[in-house]
Copies of this chain bind each other. A is one copy, B any other.
Amino acid sequence: MNTMRIMILGGDGFCGWATALHLSSLGHEITIVDNLSRRRIDHDLGVESLTPIASLEQRVERWYMEMGERIEIVTINVARDIKALHQLISHTNPGAIIHFAQQRAAPFSMKTMRHKMYTIDNNVNATHNVLAILADLKSDTHLIHLGTMGVYGYGSTDGEILPEGYLQVVPTRGPRSDDIFGPPREIRYPTNPGSVYHMTKCLDAEMFAYYAKNDHLRITDLHQGIVWGTMTDPMLMHEELINRFDYDGDYGTVLNRFIVQGAIGYPLTVHGTGGQTRAFIHIRDSVRCIELALENPPQRGERVKIFNQMTETHRVYDLARHCADLTGADMQMVDNPRNEAAANTLNVDNHSFIDLGLKPTLLNDALINEVHDIVDRFKSRIDTTKIPCTSRWVK
């Protein structure tokens, strides 16, 4: 595809940094917009990335030295600095904006009342500011947003397949076919968020639909599964390009956490029965999906494009069992901090990315070992007191 100026909001984070390097390596001109809030949250929580990450300035300087590509950095709080953000978007007129600028951890969003409020205030205003600015500029810019599979909830127990955003339904007064009383209509798949964080992604969907309708903004919403792995190819060039790796009870995600726990002989903490089935995607496929979304934007006036960005589903217990077997670590069943069903099935339609050419990177021991090696290299940096999830959905 033609290369273009791409603005990456939240480009210093786990997915954002990987995306910046991937798209820069494809020749796109990248502007990272970030207020370094993720690093500040680490500081507030008293944790650090397992991997020693360089400063954002060092990162892009190193990238320039390795690749000869300049990544621009702009320090803006997307949720607050309206004037600066408007000027930046207006002046650079990017072909695409990729929006990661949100608080992204469900347990963090549920820690206290203040964490709930921060997550809502930050995430809703960040998304809406971008939308209102693009509408003000009558912009053709393609907005790609990182959402979550969690907007659908995890309650599917009847084997139904979660579609890519939309569902056709008929209104009915009862279970019989002659109870139907209106024509079929397409709806956004009903939301059922499992945390305040997940809820913000449902609020985003409502705002996207409105601005696509009223202002004909071009929007793609990626409903992403749990990302695992840590490195993408460009990061292998130099240690200063290394990605962050979260293992703590707030920001660590389930499969990566199991690998960390296995690597240091910490009992693998399975929440509840482990009967939860979740969708997963490797970080390498995540950045590839964003590339594919970039190449296939909706037109002005088209509805929001929604893709399920995941490659496989696994039961949490099975993942823990597998990681425990690989590493010889024990498993420990602990109270589930979340307010959710003890077990669920999950069937996800992900045909859009497959049709566009995604070759799924499925879970395998070589990849698990790759993550394991990273952990092993930096395991002296682990603070085991930060491993348990202390957030509680209902106090």
Contacts and interface: CB of A to CB of B under 8 A. Distances in A.
A385 interface: no
Contacts of A188: 190
Contact of A171 (B129, B167, B177): B167
Interface stretch (A131-139, A242-250, A276-284, A348-356): A131-139
A36 interface: no
A167 B86 CA distance: 40
A160 interface: yes
Contact of A170 (B136, B138, B170): B170
A366 interface: no
Nearest to A180: B177
Stoichiometry, as copies per complex, reads 2
A171 B172 contact: no
Contacts of A180: 170, 177
A170 B138 CA distance: 38
A165 to B, nearest CB: 13
Interface string A155-170: 0001010000001111
Interface stretch (A8-16, A202-210, A260-268, A291-299): A202-210
A380 interface: no
A120 B128 contact: yes
Interface stretch (A26-34, A191-199, A301-309, A319-327): A191-199
A86 B117 CA distance: 12
B135 A113 contact: yes
B210 A196 contact: yes
Contact of A129 (B82, B117, B124, B214): B117
Interface in A223-274: none
Given A160-B171, A170-B172, A177-B177, A190 B193 contact: no
B124 A215 contact: no
A120 B113 contact: no
Interface in A174-191: 174-175, 177-178, 180-185, 187-188, 190-191
A183 B158 contact: yes
Contact of A125 (B121, B136, B168, B183): B121
Nearest to A135: B113
Nearest to A114: B82
Contacts of A187: 169, 187, 190
A386 interface: no
Contact of A128 (B116, B175, B394): B116
**7 interchain residue pairs of minimum CB distance:** A177-B177, A169-B169, A113-B136, A116-B132, A120-B128, A187-B190, A113-B132
Given A170-B175, A203-B206, 4 more contacts: A120-B124, A168-B171, A206-B206, A214-B393
27 contacts: A82-B114, A82-B117, A86-B113, A112-B136, A113-B135, A113-B136, A116-B132, A120-B128, A124-B124, A138-B395, A160-B182, A167-B171, A168-B174, A169-B170, A170-B172, A174-B184, A177-B180, A185-B190, A187-B190, A191-B206, A191-B209, A193-B210, A196-B210, A199-B207, A214-B339, A214-B393, A214-B394
